[in-house]
Amino acid sequence: MQFRGATMASEVVTLHAGLRHPTNHDVVSETSATAVGRNAVKTLSAARVLFGAIFIFDGALKWLLFAQGQMQGVVDAFGVSFLSSNWVLFGTLVGLGETLGGICLVLGIFQRPAALWSVGIMGAIWAYGGYGGLYMNGVFSLTGQTDPGGDLMLALIFLVLVFSPYAYGLASALKLRERWSGSSFVQRTLRLLAT
């Protein structure tokens, strides 16, 4: 069995019956590193589309709660009087944020702002919901807790997506980074927001 990916296979240490391990003198080829980079970009782009679709679904559920007249009860369940007295405002903001955030992530345009406001939405829901059950009746307690909450996990995933490449989306297809390649404040801001 030959070691694949080495360009200089001058010394090879035999471990046992056919397995060979490269020594420090072996160098991994550039093509395998490039392939790993391409696969990482594809994986992050697929994650962006997947979690964008999840957020579109989440947003659609908010609009369904409004249509069924159940949104007030959902907001009241947080037990925060400020949210309960403004349930229409907060329900609408969360529904719009989730729907528009998901659409932007799926389409691959304005993905950084969309991922950032998605982090904010999920972080706020996690915090107002009692930190995944860790905060109940005015006391922090770890008793009986094994899960910090799915909202926190989604917030962390969206945080990773803030830094993911803009490949395989509208921003990439429309070459927005190249169109706004100037050094003016407006072009730098558009390049940052749209890609």
What is the pLDDT, as a whole number, of residue 136?
Answer: 58
pLDDT tens sequence across 28-59: 444 555 766 778 888 888 888 988 898 899 88
Q: Flag whether 100 is in a domain.
A: yes
Q: Flag whether 4 is in a domain.
A: no
What is the pLDDT, as a whole number, of residue 56?
Answer: 93
State the pLDDT confidence band at 9, using cuts at 50, 70 and 90: very low
What is the pLDDT, as a whole number, of residue 53?
Answer: 93
What is the pLDDT, as a whole number, of residue 32?
Answer: 58
State the pLDDT confidence band at 3, using cuts at 50, 70 and 90: very low
pLDDT over threshold 60, residue 6: no
More confident residue, 65 or 9: 65
List all residues 6 or more positions away from 115 whose beta carbon is below 8 Å from its beta carbon: 101, 105, 158, 159, 161, 162, 164
User: What values do phi and psi take at 7, rounded to 5?
Assistant: -95, -30
Q: Flag whether 1 is in a domain.
A: no
Q: Flag whether 81 is in a domain.
A: yes
Q: Structurally, how many domains does the chain consist of?
A: 1
Residue-range definition of the domain harbouring residue 28: 12-194
Q: Flag whether 173 is in a domain.
A: yes
Please give the average per-residue pLDDT across 17-27, as a whole number. Answer: 49
Bridge partners (DSSP) listed for residue 135: 140
Angle at 157 between CA 156 and CA 160, to 5 degrees: 90
Q: Flag whether 161 is in a domain.
A: yes
State the pLDDT confidence band at 68, using cuts at 50, 70 and 90: confident
pLDDT tens sequence across 73-131: 888 877 778 888 888 888 899 899 999 999 998 998 888 888 888 888 888 887 777 66
Name the E strands within the chain.
Answer: 12-16, 19-22, 135-136, 139-140
Q: Flag whether 185 is in a domain.
A: yes
List all residues 6 or more positions away from 86 whose beta carbon is below 8 Å from its beta carbon: none
More confident residue, 8 or 166: 166
Q: Flag whether 3 is in a domain.
A: no
List all residues 6 or more positions away from 77 whose beta carbon is below 8 Å from its beta carbon: none
Residue ranges in 70-149 assigned as alpha helix (H): 71-76, 81-85, 87-107, 111-128
What is the pLDDT, as a whole number, of residue 13?
Answer: 45
What is the pLDDT, as a whole number, of residue 133?
Answer: 58
pLDDT tens sequence across 141-178: 554 454 566 677 777 788 787 777 777 888 788 887 78
State the pLDDT confidence band at 140, using cuts at 50, 70 and 90: low
